[in-house]
Structure formats: C-alpha cells, structure tokens
Amino acid sequence: MIDDGTALFTIGELARATGLTVRTIRYWSDEGALPPVTRSAGGYRLYDAGSVARLELIHTLRELGLGLDDVRKVLAGERTVAEVAAAHVAALDAQIRSLKVTRAVLSTVARRGSTAEEMTLMNKLARLSAAERRRIVEDFMAEIFDGLDTADPDIRTRLRFAAAELPDDPTPEQVDAWVELAELIQDPDFRALMRRMVEFNAADRGPEVPAGTSLWFMSRLVQLAGEALRKGISPDAPEADDVLRGLLGNADRAAVLERLTAASNARVARYRELSAIVNGLERQPAHEEEFSWVVAALRAHPDR
C-alpha cells in the first residue's frame, strides 16, 4: 500500500492480500475485469478498496466456472448473477448428460468386449439428437404398421410407447438400454418379425372388433395357462385340450401356434425389457412359462 493517505494498492499488494498470483490479477486487469483506478508516477497500476471487493467477486465467479466475458457483464450490471448462474446451470446439466452418455458407452464397451467399430456405432447412437432419435422410432413404427389399418390401435399405442426416446436426463442404464434398443429396432430381421406379428393381428380383427381385444386375449392366455401350471397339468395331457378350447374356441390352432411363436420370440422379449428400462419402469414379467405351456399344448393337440 502506498502510504500517502489514498489507500491505494499495487498488484503485488493485492496478490499478498488475496492469495492470488500477480500474474492472474494482471491478466484479469488486462482483460478489463479489474481496471485500475489510477496509475502511480512510475506507471504502476493502482487499486482501491472497491477494487479489492471487485477482485473477490471475480475470484468467486471464476471458481464457479464463469468466463471473463460473463464476469465483465455481471460487474458492469449488464447481467445479474442469478441470470449468469442459471445459464451456467444449464451448461453444466448438458455437460453432465454428455458425461453420462460417455460413461454408459464405455461401460457397455467394457462389458461386451466391443471392437473399435462397435464402440464407434454405440457412441454415435447414444449421442443422437432428440430429433434424430425420434426419427428412428417413427421409421420403425411406419415400417411395421404401413397399410395395416385394421391392426388393434392399442397395439400401435403400446409399441409407440415401448419404442421409447431417451430421456433428457438419462441414467447410464437407460443410455445403455437405448443403444441396444436403437440397434434392435433398426435391424431388418427384427422389423420383419414385428411386422409379421402386426399382420397376424390385423388379419384377426374385423371392423367391429373393439380396441384392446388382442391384449385381452394375451391376459386370458396367461391366466388359463397359469392355472394349468399350478394344477400340474402337462401340455400333452387330455385336460390341456380342454384349456385350449376355453382359450381359443374354434380358432385355427395351427395359425394361433404360428402367431404365438412369433410373439414369444426371445428378441421380442428383449425389446420389451429394454423399453421398460428406457421408460424408467419396472421390468414386466414375460410370462415365458405360460407362453411355453400353450405352445407345447398346441403342438400336442393340433386338431380342434
């Protein structure tokens, strides 16, 4: 401090008082964030008590990650600290989301033992924009439902929900599931399988069949097959034929067998599992035992 009653500080004195380096204070001063109030006869920059308070604020804002441009705007009154803080919260949220994506991709690579090419694909899929992810889902829905206007609308609604978009703030598990789900719904063989399921559904429905009927049938299947399993009825036992009649009536059993074989496909089950993860839902039971029982019973009792 210059002892002339003016209480002015040199950069060196500011550095000793604040614990900052002379180089840092000089840089902030050169950038206009901490202008000197005057200069000494020898040309040295001098600062007053207000400069000390200003320096402490600059230090705090810089520690919080604000750039000097934002710091200058706050100090000039062009922006409030709250406005700048809100903008930086949004920026940090974006960085956190990006880090979560990176972590999920690397975790998947480590678990799968992926090649460099697979890692590149996973990273690309995980970092798609919301619009690009939505396009993948819409392409999938368009291909499997194109021209099948008689398909149960409840099936369309459920599949659209299941072909979920990645949330804005996903967990690593959701990113991992989305990557696998995106690969799955873009696979031509899987699309053909799902298309065949929808074609079966569309062929079964007449114009007066209410929406949700096919979902009711699946619920009924799980209920009746579950009861048969609990009673210990073998699929090839005569009693199994009675269960099938109660479930199917006079329907073509060969056609039902074909449909159930498609619906109980392992890849379809994985699709449902991944969808639950991406949507943040508890994994729903696949009812594999019930479906397997009905398939086995249809094979053992093919005739109506």
Residue 149: predicted pLDDT: 73
Residue 66 makes CB contacts below 8 A (sequence gap 6+) with: 74, 84, 88
pLDDT of residue 11: 92
DSSP state letter for 209: P
Which pLDDT tens digit goes with each residue over 161-202?
666 667 766 777 787 788 888 888 889 988 888 887 777 767
pTM: 0.52
Tell how far CA 122 is from the center of its chain.
Answer: 13
What does the alpha-carbon distance between residue 142 and residue 137 come to, in Å, rounded to a whole number? 9
In this predicted structure, what is the pLDDT of residue 24? 92
Among residues 34, 44, 42, the alpha carbon closest in space to that of 10 is found at 44
Give the pLDDT of residue 36.
92
Residue 116: the pLDDT is: 75
Question: What pLDDT does residue 5 have?
Answer: 42
Q: Which pLDDT score, from 0 to 100, does residue 3 have?
A: 46
* Digit-coded pLDDT (tens) for 225-248: 888 889 899 989 888 888 888 877
All residue ranges of the chain with pLDDT < 50 are 1-5
Query: What local confidence, expressed as pLDDT, does residue 1 receive?
Result: 45
Residue 203's pLDDT is 65
Contact 31, 67 (CB under 8 A): no
Neighbour count for residue 297 (Cβ, 10 Å): 25
In this structure, what is the dihedral angle of CA atoms 280, 184, 270, 284, given to the nearest 10 degrees? 30
